[in-house]
Amino acid sequence: MNFQLSEEHEMIRKMVRDFATKEVAPTAEERDENETFDMAIFDKMAELGLTGIPWPEEYGGIGSDYLAYCIAVEELSRVDASVGVVLSAHTSLAGWPVYTFGTEEQKKKYLRPMAEGKKIGAYGLTEPAAGSDAGSMKTTAKEDGDHYVLNGSKIFITNGGIADTYVVFAVTDPESKHKGTTAFIVEKDFEGFSVGKKEKKLGIRSSPTTEIIFDNCRVPKENMLGELGQGFKIAMQTLDGGRNGIAAQAVGIAQGAMDAAVGYAKEREQFGKPIAANQGVSFKLADMATQIEASRLLTYQAAWLETNKLSYSKESAMAKLMAGDTAMKVTVEAVQVFGGYGYTKDYPVERYMRDAKITQIYEGTQEIQRLVISRMVTK
Ligand code: CAA
């Protein structure tokens, strides 16, 4: 067993850290405040090859792996979790199912431009009455000649409105719950597709989250992804990898908050000495560092398993569960280390704390991760 990252992984970390520090961090606070996504940042990520890290070069990627992708999400989230999730949803939730289940034509038509960063991807599963119980979705897809006609709506769509390509799930056979769901690739310009309400959020405010609406949306049959009735399994398998991307995002948020707290604790003096000299603060930092390291190891393990084509559903759920809780705990403690200043917008830790919360909710709540893990350890 070797816990040392390869030269390639170290190189990717360094490249993304430089980019994140120089080009993402300076505007993170402003974009959070104004809830604005910056296309120029996405374009620069494309130039660096970050939009297609795990995909082979023939599909526009850089031919690296899932660990490199997680490192990139982590480093981006270390300064701005919104940018981290834009890349995560684009790669894990849209690119992955097209790469894994798409036909050669679909990969050329949809994966390549996503990998090259010419198009942005998104994933549409959740509905108003189908959140944790994803299988109870109501959006329908009815056959009509050489098209399927989709009706319904999806909510909480990361990259909604900025995405060009949406991987969505709809009921093709209402009689058979899970086996009656099918996946489709929907282009933003398809007739009957529109973007609805944009959410105003507590955190990850510069990553757009919207409703998407299908009003007799006509999707050519060749845009069915995988087989008829295979949609639920595609959705679940996609989330297995997606959860690991969110674990990486959570590790990044926690690390960013930790770095800020350490810097402040060494600088801030009270009672004639830096506050880091008090065990009340330094032991807090020790616990934070330990929780982050444990979360990172679980995350990298799941990414390694996926890269090596071994089973990773349980491990990615564990990584997301552990890292999401760590991000929440560590960011709350980071605010505490900053005291009153931590509660203001003069320092970034309040943003990290707001951003951390979503990692306990999306891509399956912590309760759903426990359900997935417990089913696997008791079967
Ligand atoms: N891989 C492959 N197949 C799977 C699977 C997986 N990981 N999980 C389930 N399946 C299969 C099962 O084997 C079963 O197949 P058979 O019918 O052939 O036996 C079928 O799918 C149904 O499985 P379950 O009976 O376990 O389904 P369930 O209705 O009990 O639901 C669940 C399981 C884990 C609770 C699932 O509904 C779930 O994950 N819910 C959470 C949804 C979620 O994570 N939403 C996130 C939205 S996306 C998002 O948040 C993105 C973002 O913003 C960034």
- Nearest alpha carbon, ligand 1 atom 23: 178
H-type alpha helices, 117-230 = none
Measured in Å, residue 181 CA sits from the centre of ligand 1 at 12
Lookup: tokens for 296: 């990172």
User: Does the annotation count 363 as an active-site position?
Assistant: yes
What confidence tens digit (pLDDT) does each residue in 57-113 have?
A: 999 999 999 999 999 999 999 999 999 999 999 999 999 999 999 999 999 999 999
CA gap 349, 339 in Å, rounded: 11
CA gap 13, 4 in Å, rounded: 13
Which residue, among 207, 208, 211, has the nearest Cα to 194 in the 3D structure? 211
Q: What angle do CA 196, 354, 251 make, to 5 degrees?
A: 105
Burial bucket for residue 29 (CB in 10 Å: 0-12, 13-18, 19+): middle
Mean of the per-residue pLDDT values of the chain? 98
Q: State the Rg of the chain over Cα.
A: 21
- Name residue 83's amino acid: V
Atom of ligand 1 nearest to the CA of 233: 3
- Nearest alpha carbon, ligand 1 atom 33: 133
Which residue, among 30, 56, 131, has the nearest Cα to 345 in the 3D structure? 30
As a three-state string, the secondary structure of 325-377 is: HHHHHHHHHHHHHHHHHHHCCCCCHHHHHHHHHHHHCCCCCHHHHHHHHHHHH
Measured in Å, residue 123 CA sits from the centre of ligand 1 at 15
- Nearest alpha carbon, ligand 1 atom 18: 179
Find out whether 298 and 247 touch, Cβ atoms under 8 Å. yes
pTM for the whole structure: 0.98
What confidence tens digit (pLDDT) does each residue in 30-48 have?
A: 999 999 999 999 999 999 9
Measured in Å, residue 132 CA sits from the centre of ligand 1 at 9
Burial bucket for residue 311 (CB in 10 Å: 0-12, 13-18, 19+): exposed
- Nearest alpha carbon, ligand 1 atom 29: 135
Find out whether 202 and 105 touch, Cβ atoms under 8 Å. no
Query: At residue 304, does pLDDT exceed 90?
Result: yes
Q: How confident is the model at residue 131, as a pLDDT? A: 97
Measured in Å, residue 239 CA sits from the centre of ligand 1 at 8
Find out whether 84 and 252 touch, Cβ atoms under 8 Å. yes
Atom of ligand 1 nearest to the CA of 240: 7
In the chain, what percentage of residues exceed pLDDT 70?
100
| Pocket residue to mutate for ligand 1, from 154, 157, 232, most atoms within 8 A of Cβ | 232
Find out whether 73 and 84 touch, Cβ atoms under 8 Å. yes
- Nearest alpha carbon, ligand 1 atom 30: 133
H-type alpha helices, the chain = 7-19, 25-34, 39-47, 66-79, 81-88, 96-101, 104-106, 112-115, 231-267, 279-307, 313-338, 349-357, 366-378
| Pocket residue to mutate for ligand 1, from 236, 239, 321, most atoms within 8 A of Cβ | 236
Give me the half-sphere count of Cα atoms (radius 13 Å) on the Cβ side of residue 209. 17
Query: At residue 28, does pLDDT exceed 90?
Result: yes
Q: Give the residues surrounding ligand 1 with Cβ less than 6 Å away.
A: 85, 89, 93, 123, 125-126, 132-135, 156, 158, 178, 232-233, 236-237, 239-240, 313, 362-364, 368, 371-372
Find out whether 167 and 225 touch, Cβ atoms under 8 Å. yes
Find out whether 114 and 165 touch, Cβ atoms under 8 Å. yes
Measured in Å, residue 356 CA sits from the centre of ligand 1 at 24
Measured in Å, residue 66 CA sits from the centre of ligand 1 at 21
Q: What angle do CA 124, 110, 115 make, to 5 degrees?
A: 95
Query: At residue 1, does pLDDT exceed 90?
Result: no
- Name residue 201's amino acid: K
